[in-house]
Structure 1
Amino acid sequence: MSGHVPPAAIEPLADDAWLVQLGSTIDDTTNARVHALAARLRAARPPWLRDLVPAYTSLGVFFDPDLIDPDAVRDAVLQGLYASDSRADAAVAAGRTIEIPVAYGGAFGPDLLDAAGELGIPSDALVQRHAAATYTVAMIGFAPGFPYLSGLDPALALPRLATPRTRVAAGSVAIGGAQTGIYPRESPGGWRLLGRTPLRLFDPLRAAPALLAPGDRVRFRAIDEAEFMRLSEHGA
């Protein structure tokens, strides 16, 4: 191993799980280490592994206690953290890039004009800059299929609403602080709504219910109302 790798803290999460804490601040470097560790453990395909749950700075490792001693799992996690697996690392680097069509503004994005005003830029400039970035799914949380996306232009960061909405439409694309996210279903929420996608972020009837997975890359593509309706009608 070359270069300095910050230490990890590993603590029991349950009788059948460890929590691997790789940092204390939300940043792209720490999140990339989380996804790299998950990829290495997944690539090894140990029979005792039940699930991996990545978050911004930590990874939950769930195992079958009938097949392995917890301390042995801890040793395997440490080996995965400090060893190199070229195939797993290449898989992380390649990853998936998924395009998300978004109708910005109007009824689709009721906060777009106010958000642009707060930022001191025209609304079309906000749309252009929001759609220009490549985002990474840092984690899935809050609701099934809700992606927390890192990579937002820091100049576009906006505080959450002082009073959250009781209803946010499914597919709403929003800014919350320094993050972008997509509401997978109708729910309450306090993020700034810029637009909406006709894609279904979560469908329990699909083989893979969540459209996006931690580590995926996301690009937004601005569409008009006509294309939004067409994609909606075709069950996007």
Structure 2
Amino acid sequence: MTDMTDMTDMGDAEADLPSIKAIGVDGVLVSFGAQLSEAANRAALAFRAAIEAEDMPAVLETATSLTSTYVRFDLAGADHAQLRDKLAAMLGRRDWYQAPLPQGRRLWHVPAVFGTDLAPQLDDAAQLAGLSASDAITAICAQPLRVQTIGFAPGQPYLGELPPEWDIPRQTNLTPRVPEGALAVAIRQMVLFSVSTPTGWRHVGQTALRLFQPDRPDPFVLRPGDEVLFKPVTRAEYENIRQRDDAGGAVSEKLV
């Protein structure tokens, strides 16, 4: 493991990671990767779960990004040095890049229509990935994709990673607006939009899933660490789901 006594800044080299860095007056960021990888995302998710299991009185809030764990703490209960020492000790306990993913995760099965006028950039994205449209759909739906983080809009997941051929860039121009439930792709990730918004990501699929439901006690459907498996459906099946099912046809099961 890297020496935890010299982790004030996140360097460019992976040898400098994991790192601990103060964020604002009452925050600390523990970073596990300078760029996204399965191992860095795994470490961030596992480390957050470990912090919550410690039940440290001074910790008020935790969250994860793609490769980091954020901790907000009560200045009346600890200072930066004390929290840093505690987190450094936790980092030294194990190889977090190989840690098991947190308990309590769910696998979501989500119907999606690909292509058609509902998702008009499937052919463009498939061509950039060197695939036919049908092969692109098969690849996207071949295996569950992890919810790597929630961000940009309420309840909005970043999903991944797709195989290397999907390392395609975002558009240089914005699509003026994609609808709620749009499924878009770029840089080996997929975004499932929780709100209607402009985007530079290519719109390849459309779901009827409402990811942000502010009228519910728990307004977010997905959580970091959950997995999503997309199921291709026809346009007619999608329209039927949208009209009759408030859950957008999504069903879930517990993951071990």
Cα deviation, 1:10-29, whole Å, max 9, x if unaligned, reads: 12102211111222121111
Instruction: Please name the residue that 1:39 is paired with.
Output: 49
Instruction: Please name the residue that 1:162 is paired with.
Output: 172
Taking the aligned partners of 1:21 and 1:90, their CA distance within structure 2 comes to: 18
Instruction: Please name the residue that 2:246 is paired with.
Output: 235
Q: Structure 2 residue aligned with 1:139, among 149, 172, 180?
A: 149
Taking the aligned partners of 1:13 and 1:230, their CA distance within structure 2 comes to: 47
Instruction: Please name the residue that 2:34 is paired with.
Output: 24
Taking the aligned partners of 1:91 and 1:158, their CA distance within structure 2 comes to: 27
Instruction: Please name the residue that 1:224 is paired with.
Output: 234
Percent of aligned positions with the same letter in both sequences? 31
Q: How many Å apart are 1:93 and its aligned residue?
A: 6.3
Unaligned ranges ≥5, structure 1: none
| Contact preservation (8 Å) 2:125, 2:185 | no
Which piece of structure 1 moves more, 72-81 or 23-32?
72-81
Instruction: Please name the residue that 2:59 is paired with.
Output: 49
Aligned counterparts, 1:111-130, within 5 A: 111-130=121-140
Taking the aligned partners of 1:18 and 1:156, their CA distance within structure 2 comes to: 33
RMSD: 2.2
Taking the aligned partners of 2:186 and 2:64, their CA distance within structure 1 comes to: 20
| Contact preservation (8 Å) 2:166, 2:186 | no
Q: Where do 4+ consecutive residues of structure 1 move more than 4 Å?
A: none
Aligned counterparts, 1:61-140, within 5 A: 61-83=71-93, 92=102, 95-140=105-150
| Contact preservation (8 Å) 1:133, 1:151 | no
Taking the aligned partners of 2:128 and 2:101, their CA distance within structure 1 comes to: 40
Cα deviation, 1:29-70, whole Å, max 9, x if unaligned, reads: 111111111010111222322211211222110112222233
Instruction: Please name the residue that 2:217 is paired with.
Output: 207
Taking the aligned partners of 2:203 and 2:52, their CA distance within structure 1 comes to: 35
Q: How many Å apart are 1:7 and its aligned residue?
A: 4.2
Taking the aligned partners of 1:192 and 1:91, their CA distance within structure 2 comes to: 29
Structure 1 residues 48, 167: CA separation in 2 closer, same or farther (over 3 Å shift)? Answer: same
Normalising by the residue count of structure 2, what TM-score does the alignment of the two structures yield?
A: 0.82
| Contact preservation (8 Å) 2:177, 2:197 | yes
Taking the aligned partners of 2:33 and 2:166, their CA distance within structure 1 comes to: 25
Unaligned ranges ≥5, structure 2: 2-14, 248-256
Q: Which residue identity is paired with 1:201? A: L
Normalising by the residue count of structure 1, what TM-score does the alignment of the two structures yield?
A: 0.88
Taking the aligned partners of 1:172 and 1:59, their CA distance within structure 2 comes to: 27
